[in-house]
Amino acid sequence: MAHQHVAGKHPRSNARWSPLPYHLPSWAIRFGAHLDRELQFQHWIAISTKNSFVRGDHLYPAHYALLYFTKGAPSHFKRPKVNPPACRHCGQLVKDYGGYRRIIEEKRLNLSDFWDDLSPVRHRNRKYLTTNELPSLLFERVIEISGSRDLLYVDPFAGSGSGVIAAARAGLRFQACDFIEKNCLIICERLDELKTRQSREGR
Ligand SMILES: C[S@@+](CC[C@H](N)C(=O)[O-])C[C@H]1O[C@@H](n2cnc3c(N)ncnc32)[C@H](O)[C@@H]1O
């Protein structure tokens, strides 16, 4: 996924873009080295992934990497707040925050670069694709951090279109593709559903 901010007359020379490749760490390190030649590194976000398998002489792979690069300083940046983790049985906060509990309850936590509350969509009832599908929350966070209505969201590997839907909901323009036609049809259907829902809600 990437954001592109096209400023000035010549899109090529003035285009500010922010690629956010998402992959296994072994690929992320290669993409990162390549992008680092021309762009500014902002973040390596570790996103937990469950149900992986140990392969060869390696530790259990528990995260994917979401890289965030920008051309020049980020044109937009927002640090989202998230709810502190709570016990799903009693609802109490899991940590005591060393005496700052009240403040954390009131102001919530700053989002860190370790997202362990997300994982690819695995549940058959909630999946549009049979292959790897990412949760909408991942895209919503990315757009909240670095998006704005004047940006173009580009997703060349759009899959089920979770990123496209998040961009459309946030009011961004978007361009997306996938080389499996069925996936493109799923995206169109999801966009139609969104449009119907929004017009029903008067938006
Ligand atoms: C991991 S899935 C993307 C999942 C997507 N982010 C979602 O949440 O549903 C990767 C997608 O890239 C597509 N793809 C792989 N190689 C491609 C290529 N060369 N051109 C276009 N799409 C490609 C696949 O069909 C697949 O749907």
- Asked whether the beta carbons of 110 and 81 are under 8 A apart, the reply is yes
The number of folded domains in the chain is 1
* C-alpha 157 to ligand 1 mean position (Å): 4
Predicted confidence (pLDDT) at residue 11 exceeds the cutoff of 70: no
Predicted confidence (pLDDT) at residue 126 exceeds the cutoff of 80: no
More confident residue, 132 or 113: 113
| pTM of full prediction above 0.85 | yes
Nearest Cα residue to atom 3 of ligand 1: 159
Nearest-atom number in ligand 1 for the CA of 155 is 6
Task: Give the pLDDT confidence score for residue 193 in this predicted structure.
Answer: 96
Q: How confident is the model at residue 118 (pLDDT cuts 50, 70, 90)?
A: confident
Average pLDDT, rounded, for the chain: 88
Q: Tell me which residues have their CB closer than 6 angstroms to ligand 1.
A: 129, 131-134, 156-157, 159-160, 162-163, 177-180, 183
* C-alpha 108 to ligand 1 mean position (Å): 34
Predicted confidence (pLDDT) at residue 6 exceeds the cutoff of 50: no
Place of tokens 């906060």: 93
Q: What domain range is 26 assigned to? A: 2-200
Pairing mode, strands 40-48 and 22-23? unpaired
**C-alpha neighbours within 13 Å on the C-beta side of residue 160:** 15
Nearest Cα residue to atom 20 of ligand 1: 179
* Best probe residue, ligand 1, of 47, 157, 164, 185 (max atoms within 8 Å of C-beta): 157
* Best probe residue, ligand 1, of 179, 183, 184 (max atoms within 8 Å of C-beta): 179
Nearest Cα residue to atom 26 of ligand 1: 159
The 10s digit of each residue's pLDDT in 49-75 is: 877 788 899 999 899 999 999 999 998
Predicted confidence (pLDDT) at residue 44 exceeds the cutoff of 50: yes
Predicted confidence (pLDDT) at residue 8 exceeds the cutoff of 50: no
More confident residue, 100 or 51: 100
More confident residue, 113 or 54: 113
Nearest Cα residue to atom 2 of ligand 1: 159
Predicted confidence (pLDDT) at residue 10 exceeds the cutoff of 80: no
Three-state helix/strand/coil letters over 49-79: CCCCCCCCCCCCCCEEEEEEEECCCCCCCCC
Question: What CATH code is carried by the domain that includes residue 35?
Answer: 3.40.50.150
Nearest Cα residue to atom 1 of ligand 1: 132
